Structure 1
């Protein structure tokens, strides 16, 4: 999966714009909830308005950004249910890739995965909150998981992971929740995947993916729900003219109530 601004030969301007805007989002230059100005992006990328608009529409169709009338376009803030659903789909695909890897991978590929896992855990111990450091680590983390799917020998699994942007969403969830894994987690995962038990490999991947999901849900909800209202629900005060038109119910005094009661009795 491409996560840098490297553009394939012959790619359209809209695809180039798509890659560069997505990288800005992944680097945190446009944070969750951040507004995307098509005209400003066109100026920054040195492009016309049209390819940038097409790129933003593609990002919107993938769920990374959202547009609403009178609000504009911004990086989408996921709800806890959004996060859960992404995890469910990712787990379904990656547990299968783990099973297939365990069954099919060559000895060379198994050693390659162990080496990647060891280097990834080393990087996890050195990564800092700096956006450049986070970007480098998350890039390598994404490559690690995609490599498992590739060595599993299923082109369709790789395409499904890429098409649904599942690892890109995981990247965004991690950096916005400031999540980090315990030391050695990827080495432990690789040890099981390079063994001879496909069921154990599938289970280990499921546990690996689900780890910390509830904490990430809560962290993102805490970070964004208070300071930023749900998109499309703009808080508007009732205009003074409308407030004046509201007819308030008349209050009954005790004296008037007693007089009415007396009349009813005499009748």
Structure 2
């Protein structure tokens, strides 16, 4: 009995490991939208059997990140124009809800850390040393902070569900659109308004930023 429990625990851990690795590869576009997911290759690269890879794929399918086409294979899901617009429409409404309670729970220490991050990547951008991974990681931090500090757990949950899809297309658009400097400036303005606790201006600025981000993604597509 104890041996069976250990086996189940190890299998679960391997599935979680495979899930995180495949999820990261989707996020960083090492496996691109529309690309076939090759179970054998992934299992070999991760040094595990196909069973935990299959379990990981089921988890990713439940998150609507991949799709299984019967008799064809498993693919990273491609978002349509409508999907992207719908996601950003929901994101806009959620962020307006979240910031209302988050604004008084975000500390000066939080804001100083974000400001330092954006100033650092701004300098790296000027030197031509900013990587896509670093940019997309910092770019989402302001929005993650707003949701982490908000009191609405449903808003937090929905944001977590759509966050990877947003990051995935953000990562794709980074090099092709060359919009990093504008994004940094917009985020620094959001940080400034959070510091002033100017809720009305903040919601307007967030809405404009999200609309601008959507246009960038649609231009990439």
Q: Which residue of 1 aligns with 2:163?
A: 167
Q: What runs of 5+ residues in structure 1 fail to find an aligned partner?
A: 1-9, 221-267
Question: 1:154 Cα shift?
Answer: 5.0
TM-fit CA distance, 1:139: 2.0
Larger proportion of helix:
2
* Deviations, residues 109-156 of structure 1 (Å, cap 9, x unaligned): 343343344335445556679xxx212221222333212322345555
The answer (yes or no) to whether the contact 1:109–1:151 under 8 Å persists in 2 is no
Distance 1:155 1:186 in 2: 24
1:139 maps to what in 2? 137
- Structure 1 residues 153 and 116: alpha-carbon distance in aligned structure 2, compared to 1, 3 A threshold: farther
Counterpart secondary structure, 2:74: strand
**In structure 1, how many angstroms separate the alpha carbons of the residues matched to 2:102 and 2:125?**
24
What is residue 96 of structure 2 aligned with on the other side?
A: 95
Residue 196 of structure 2 aligns to a residue whose secondary structure is coil
Q: Look up the match of 2:3.
A: none
- Change in 2 beyond 3 A, CA 1:99/1:83: same
Distance 1:160 1:98, change over 3 A: same
Residue 71 of structure 1: how far off its partner (Å): 2.5
> Which residue of 2 is the match for residue 198 of structure 1?
199
Alignment partner of 2:215: what SS? helix
Q: Check the 8 A contact 1:18/1:59 in 2, yes or no.
A: yes
Matches of 2:202 and 2:150, distance apart in 1 = 12
Distance 1:158 1:80, change over 3 A: same
**In structure 2, distance between residues paired with 1:127 and 1:211:** 24
Unpaired stretches in structure 2, ≥5 consecutive residues: 1-9
Q: Does 1:209 align with 2:210?
A: yes
TM-score, normalized by length of structure 2?
Answer: 0.80
1:106–1:218: structure 2 CA closer, same or farther, 3 Å change rule?
A: closer
Query: Which of these two proteins has the greater Rg computed from alpha carbons?
Result: 1
